[in-house]
A and B are shown apart, each in its own frame.
Chain A
């Protein structure tokens, strides 16, 4: 459990200038996703942080495109942009 707690409390930073939206969403859809996720350089991309079931805290540093936080169940998604 200790490992799992550590994972859940952990902060994951995803830079969309480097990683794909699909990779970000895959991490957010894991059975036990990181508790906090910070997204850099969203660049107006579509479908960022969609379909979230877990109680993750997602902070997006910039403007997003269509469908952001769409079909969200339990996550808290904050967009510091548009």
Chain B
């Protein structure tokens, strides 16, 4: 069992409240995943030619200020770190791939949780209720966000094993379920040059989506292909730069409910996570069908 939550704001006025609303959703889903929690927020785009990175350090004092200065020296331009608990967000005046390659070489002690123009991922092992407080999730604004509460079934409980998993620039995945062919698929994907940090099954699904899209598939096509290549149970929510997409396995083993009003679109593992959203009682509410890709983005909502 795990809990997933996603919230997309259709009206600008809701953006400052996004973190507070997602925090409330995570609290309602905390019992489904008491082991760890994580969020991905889409907000505050980096200027053109720059990238934004969310970094995690296990160290007590990671020296974020010094890292910011170092990034500035190497890449010409880097923001001061925006520190949030064990994570820090940097905006660097360079290509995301170049910065990630440099970090891997020079700072292997750091984990890149996300990279892109707008995405920021924060995640940690431990109680979701503590996570929401420690990371001050309620204070984060943005256009849309995904969240996850984890009850581990197939791999260790660590921050690295927590969701969301980055699946490429401005992309991430949260998952409720378990995959049974992830070891074989991981070997296949490694041969295609996809890198993995953990032995987690969801990270393989994330890597699979990255690979499919690198080969030219759209997000929708990549999700459709999941139904052929992934064995197991899943409700997936995928965050993109301008929205999110949802897919349940063809048998729909794992629960999901969606709701929409004039102001927002939401997905959650259970209705109780949606009940607290403004106007939820009058929202159009439905259970997403098995094996069907649903997606929301600015282009689709406008």
Contact = CB atoms under 8 A, between A and B. Distances in A.
Interface of A: 43-46, 62-63, 65-66, 82
Nearest to A64: B271
Contacts of A66: 270
B281 A65 contact: no
Nearest to A46: B272
A44 B272 contact: yes
A46 B274 CA distance: 14
A62 B274 CA distance: 13
Interface in B160-216: none
A43 B270 contact: no
B241 to A, nearest CB: 31
A49 B272 CA distance: 16
Contacts of B281: 62
A47 to B, nearest CB: 12
Contacts of A65: 270-272
11 contacts: A43-B272, A43-B276, A44-B270, A44-B271, A44-B275, A45-B272, A62-B281, A63-B275, A63-B285, A65-B271, A65-B272
A46 B31 CA distance: 11
Nearest to A17: B275
Interface string B275-290: 1100001000100000
Interface in B250-281: 270-276, 281
A57 B275 CA distance: 25
Nearest to A82: B271
A75 B275 CA distance: 26
Contacts of B275: 43-44, 63
A33 B120 CA distance: 52
Given A44-B273, A62-B281, A63-B275, 18 more contacts: A43-B271, A43-B272, A43-B275, A43-B276, A44-B270, A44-B271, A44-B272, A44-B274, A44-B275, A45-B272, A46-B272, A63-B271, A63-B285, A65-B270, A65-B271, A65-B272, A66-B270, A82-B271
